[in-house]
Amino acid sequence: MPELIKQDEVVYQVLDLSVNLRRRGQERVILESLSFDVLKKECLSIVGPSGTGKTTLLRALAGLVPYSGSVKFHGETLNGPASDVVLVFQDYVNALLRWRTVQKNVALGIEGRIPKEQCQERIDEAIETVGLQNYRDSYPWELSGGMQQRVQIARALAMKPKVLLFDEPFGSLDAMTREGLQDELLRVRSVFQTTCVFITHDIDEAVYLGDRLMLLSGSPASLTFELDIPLGASRNQILTKESGEFLGYRHQVYEQMRKAHGGSQATG
Amino acid sequence: MTLQTANTHSVMIRKSRHKSNDGKGVAPLVGLLPLAALLLIWQVFGNPHSVFFPQPNRWFAAIDSLRQQGMLWSSILATASTFIQSMIVATLIGTALGMALGSIQWGGRALDPLLDFLRNLPAAALVPAAAIVLGTNTKMALVIVVFSSVWPILLNTRSAILNLSPVLSSSITNLGLGGFRRSSVMIGSALPGILLGVRVAAPLALIVTLLAEFITNLPGVGALILSAQQNFNSAEVYALLLVAGVLALVVNSIVSAIEASVLHRHGPTTS
């Protein structure tokens, strides 16, 4: 399989990635020798129980934590914060600037870097993509949680990144808003064709959004399972989720998760 | 019933945050009514020949005579000028140092004993030392006032920076903001803390301004109070006390107005 993939189709090439974090003077291995590729235009779901180090993995891909092993982004070794890679955090309250309007928040990453007119065009495009055109001049604290998360996504889109890294972006939203935003994300991806890495502990969400899925588990965490999800680009909350294929993938992931997690539960 | 009132109260607090000019100017004046009543009682029942407790009408006469001598406004202006200049300098220095200390992980806490020592040095004790080094002049008064009012701003800024969410700093880094942009986003987010420091520092700065004038006899309201006391002019002492009180009230309402106008963008939960 890997021989068939052309080099320029690979966005991330991760080989033997390990991350140690020092907390209160104690060094702890969070991730242990992960190897995987992220391909152009795909959405890679990474699923795992909370506390396994999913966020640390995402931060490593963004170049925000020191790692050992090799992470190549478009063929170049990643040292320090990656440009063209934007993180979308679960904690939208702290990720947004509460004293800036929606428009100014979306502008944060691009203002002063590109010509003013172009900047405004990109802001408008991003805001319209997430459907907040009537809230340009509102402050984040005047909006609902789902809308604030849309602002964060718009801010990421305005950067026109090569990769979007989602860190459980819908984890703190209610089920209905979450489903709405999942479909929004599918739609945005079909327009922008951006490569995505999507982290979640919600298996349904991981299968629904991913073209490919990886299971992260254990302590220190390693990749224990990988699955292709060829459900196509147009997915539907009702029809896709009740299709036999979807349920089959879901079943496999649950089984693997139980296998990986059951072992650790027995010891703990 | 109690629940009802509690709810109305919280709604009113929210409203006043958003519409800050909604009858807010009237409230402090209404709140001053007890003081006015007290002065009125003093006037009516006071002894017209008392040396230590002159009736308020004699205070106003004393103020008027100061005004006619051309001393009143020039002194208020001198005090206000020292105060405003020191507040500006203290805010700039306090914010800059507070940001620097808040950003250095190891230095933030390690310097605590030094900061505690410096901020607890009594301003009155510093005046003689400053007078030796700088001489008895306005510059020395400025240094003393800045030195004693910079601490609340510095410490509040530092803790505001230290308490910024790691998610915020990750997202600033992730968006590639560095240098000036990074600092301006940090200042914006720390602004409620910085302004809290300014609000604590402002009355302190006014006190130390008056104190410096007392001790050094530099022109200002403090010096007027001192000379009135030395001349046993008790009506003038009370009158100037009232002037100092009004100055403090004005300072407080200006600082509150600045705070409200800046922080309305931060929304209801930060204070």
pLDDT in tens, B95-119: 999 999 888 866 557 788 888 888 8
**CATH code, B75:** 1.10.3720.10
Q: What is the full DSSP assignment across A93-139?
A: HHHS-TTS-HHHHHHTTTTTTS-HHHHHHHHHHHHHHTT-GGGTT--
Among A139, A134, A101, A106, CA closest to A120: A106
Structural domain contains residue B41? no
| Chain B residue with minimum CA distance to A102 | B265
Type and span of the H or E element at A80 = none
Structural domain contains residue B51? no
Mean local confidence (pLDDT), B250-259: 91
Show residues of chain A in contact with B261, CB under 8 Å. Answer: none
Say yes or no to pLDDT of B74 above 80.
yes
Say yes or no to pLDDT of B155 above 70.
yes
pLDDT in tens, A173-208: 888 888 989 998 998 888 888 899 999 989 999 999
| Chain B residue with minimum CA distance to A81 | B174
Structural domain contains residue B29? no
Asked if B179 reaches chain A (Cβ–Cβ under 8 Å), the answer is: no
Asked if B265 reaches chain A (Cβ–Cβ under 8 Å), the answer is: yes
Structural domain contains residue B4? no
- In which band, very low, low, confident or very high, does the pLDDT at A262 lie, cut at 50, 70 and 90? low
Q: Which of residues 214-253 of A touch B (CB under 8 A)?
A: none
Structural domain contains residue B113? yes
Amino acid at residue number B52 = F
Among B216, B269, B229, CA closest to B79: B216
What pLDDT score was predicted for residue A99?
A: 92
d(CA B135, CA B130): 7
What pLDDT score was predicted for residue A263?
A: 52
Asked if A88 reaches chain B (Cβ–Cβ under 8 Å), the answer is: no
B257 is in which domain, residue-wise?
A: 66-266
Say what the ipTM of the complex is: 0.85
The minimal CB distance from B171 to the residues A95, A140, A142 is found for A95
Say yes or no to pLDDT of B20 above 50.
no
The minimal CB distance from A94 to the residues B167, B188, B269 is found for B167
Q: Do B266 and A64 lie within an 8 Å CB cutoff?
A: no
Question: Which CATH fold topology does A2-84+162-216+224-267 show?
Answer: Rossmann fold (3.40.50)
Say yes or no to pLDDT of A266 above 70.
no
CATH 3.40.50.300 residue window(s) in chain A: 2-84+162-216+224-267
Say yes or no to pLDDT of B6 above 50.
no
> Across all residues in chain A, what is the average pLDDT?
87
d(CA B166, CA A149): 18
Say yes or no to pLDDT of B13 above 60.
no
Q: Nearest CA to CA, how far is B263 from chain A (Å)?
A: 8
Query: How many separate domains does chain B show?
Result: 1
What pLDDT score was predicted for residue A267?
A: 38
What pLDDT score was predicted for residue B2?
A: 38
B263 near B191, Cβ under 8 Å? yes
The minimal CB distance from A83 to the residues B176, B191, B267 is found for B176
pLDDT in tens, A97-123: 999 999 999 999 998 888 999 999 999
Distance of CA B25 to the CA centre of its chain: 19
Structural domain contains residue B252? yes
Q: Do B170 and A99 lie within an 8 Å CB cutoff?
A: no
Structural domain contains residue B53? no
What pLDDT score was predicted for residue B22?
A: 44
pLDDT in tens, A140-170: 999 999 999 999 999 999 999 999 999 999 9
- In which band, very low, low, confident or very high, does the pLDDT at B11 lie, cut at 50, 70 and 90? very low
A109 near B176, Cβ under 8 Å? yes
Say yes or no to pLDDT of B204 above 50.
yes
d(CA A214, CA B246): 69
Say yes or no to pLDDT of A20 above 90.
no
- In which band, very low, low, confident or very high, does the pLDDT at B269 lie, cut at 50, 70 and 90? low
What pLDDT score was predicted for residue B28?
A: 62
Q: Which two tokens stand for residue B38?
A: 């007290």
